[in-house]
Structure 1
Amino acid sequence: MTTDRTREARTEAVRALEGEFSELINRFRRVITENANRVSPGMLPGAYKVFTTIARRESVTQSALAEALMVDKGQLSRTVRELEQLGLVERTPDPNDGRSSLLAPTAFGLERLTAARLPQENALLENLVDWPIEDIHNLSRLLHALTSGINP
């Protein structure tokens, strides 16, 4: 049985964690905005998110992308067209479904993404230089457990 003291301590710890997440989210918003502008000046953060999701999945249908991002299909269609016009994404016929197509990053798109991410990757490497590698792996494992809803 959980004591009142244990419950209060857990609530306090969760509130502190929520505060740190809030700071992390604010920082991430800045990073995403900066990265989007490095990929293509004026690119909106939402388009960057669509692009990075396509790049991470390597090949995805537009309907699967809409489901994964939980976005309006009309807005997603406009964003994908913009990414195509910028040469970042290409569309190919889906061999499993002749009615749909697969979205994939272009070589140019992957080059732009790598270049855009480099400043933050270097900053993160620098910030974690004194962390034991095991702690970095642990943080990744715990964040994955939290975002997946599994017990670490």
Structure 2
Amino acid sequence: MTETSDAAAPAPDADRHAAVQAVEDELSSLIGSVRRVLAEHAERVSPGMLPGVYKVLTTIARHEGITLSALAESLMADKGQMSRAVRELEGLGLVERAADPRDRRSSALRATAVGQERLAAARAPRERALVAALEDWALEDVQALARLLRALATGTTPGA
């Protein structure tokens, strides 16, 4: 008689399970902090700006010349929702459209100089706080943290 694949699977290791649960708990706490920071940054960029619109602005600034379709895909959002956010950002003078050099039928979105300045000003206090928080860490630990977070975000094995 052969065992089923469920029966053949090893029992979960209690220490690994506890460690993974601790990571999940810390990530939940971190996500709450990130949401607060996004709301603060959005308010600094433009009073009343929603955090989701701020995220659209940061994505456009990071991916200079991104199309609306690529923006929606990047943020896993509806194109209509992205279009409304982009119109809001254009109205505030933070984003502009230009002809996409790869496809003239499409527009490439770019942060304006004002948008870049406001983003930098909004981020500055938090960047200083992060630098201060990591100031006493060994450089290798900071680099390891970045590597581990990237691996977690991409679903890859660290160092692979």
Task: Give your verdict on TM over 0.5.
Answer: yes
2:138 to 99, 124, 132: 132
In structure 2, what is the equivalent of residue 103 of structure 1?
109
Q: Compute the TM-score of the two structures, normalised by the length of structure 1.
A: 0.95
Please say if residues 100 and 106 of structure 2, whose CA atoms lie closer than 8 Å, have aligned partners that are also in contact. yes
2:67 to 54, 58, 61: 61
Q: Which deviates more from structure 2 when the two are superposed, residues 80-89 or residues 92-101?
A: 92-101
Structure richer in helix, relative to its length:
1
The percent identity for this pair of structures is 60
Residue 129 of structure 1 deviates from its aligned partner by 1.1
In structure 1, what is the equivalent of residue 37 of structure 2?
31
CA, structure 1 residues 66+3, in 2 after alignment: closer, same or farther (shift >3 Å)? closer
Q: Compute the TM-score of the two structures, normalised by the length of structure 2.
A: 0.90
CA, structure 1 residues 2+140, in 2 after alignment: closer, same or farther (shift >3 Å)? farther
Once the two structures are superposed, residues 39-80 of structure 1 have per-residue CA deviations (whole angstroms, 9 ceiling, x without a partner) of: 011000000010000011111000010111111111111110
Kindly tell me the number of residue pairs found equivalent between the two proteins: 151
1:147 to 141, 149, 153: 153
RMSD: 1.5
Give secondary structure in 1 for the equivalent of 2:87: helix
CA distance in 2, matches of 1:13, 1:59: 41
**Deviating 4+ runs (over 3 angstroms):** 1-4
Once the two structures are superposed, residues 11-41 of structure 1 have per-residue CA deviations (whole angstroms, 9 ceiling, x without a partner) of: 1000000000011000000000000000011
Is there any run of 5+ residues in structure 2 with no aligned partner, and where? 1-7
Larger CA Rg, structure 1 vs 2: 2
